[in-house]
Amino acid sequence: MLFIAVLRGNRKRQLQQIVVLIGTIFIIFNGLYFFDIIPPVPLSLKDIGVYHSVLKSSTGDYLVLYEPAPWYVFWRDTSATLHYEPGQSAYCFSSVYAPTQLSTPIYHVWEYYDAASKGWITESRISYSISGGRSDGYRGFSATAALMPGEWRCDVETASGALIGRISFTAIEATTSVPLQTATL
């Protein structure tokens, strides 16, 4: 009998420890979300890239033209360098997963690094709506024609400014032609 009483006492203490642990995890994740340290939970970035051209086909697929990443950069399809000609646009294509029944606007925020002020300057903020339920994510793209040499990034954000994902690249004015590849997304 004494053994059963001790066992029950330990279970009560173990249950209290489990409740404290779950509560702590809940508070930590809510704090991280509140301070925009982690992305919004129902949204996740499935794919992102910077391209020379993006065209939507009649079948709903996207045809992209891009500079491939070097073979040793296996985690990325597109190069971290974009060679452009004056007046040429750059395109940011992203695929964002959203749960079924969720419809919300998301934004592509184009920014360049200003060495003089040592900060990122927003060039444009372009919105489009997403609707959840597609297993490969909701796809969309935006473009900027204001390219200049230097460090650039395209952020994918919620309406409140919470970061979902980002891609960074270096824009370099082309002096020679660069080999490009095509892909269907």
Same domain, 32 and 61: no
Report the alpha-carbon distance of residue 137 to residue 49 in Å, rounded: 14
Identify the band that residue 68 occupies on the pLDDT scale cut at 50, 70 and 90. very high
pTM reported for the whole predicted model: 0.74
Same domain, 33 and 55: no
Identify the band that residue 82 occupies on the pLDDT scale cut at 50, 70 and 90. very high
Same domain, 5 and 51: no
HSE-up (13 A, CA, CB side) for residue 92: 28
How many other β-carbons are positioned within 10 Å of the β-carbon of residue 157? 22
pLDDT at position 128, please? 83
Nearest residue to 106 via CA among 94, 115, 121: 94
Give me the mean pLDDT over the 152-178 stretch: 91
pLDDT at position 1, please? 43
pLDDT at position 138, please? 82
Domain limits for position 30? 1-38
Task: Let me know: does 156 contact 107? Beta carbons within 8 Å.
Answer: yes
Identify the band that residue 36 occupies on the pLDDT scale cut at 50, 70 and 90. low
Report the alpha-carbon distance of residue 185 to residue 90 in Å, rounded: 17
Same domain, 76 and 162: yes
Same domain, 59 and 100: yes
Nearest residue to 154 via CA among 40, 47, 56, 71: 47
Same domain, 96 and 167: yes
Same domain, 78 and 3: no
Same domain, 54 and 25: no
What's the total number of domains in the chain? 2
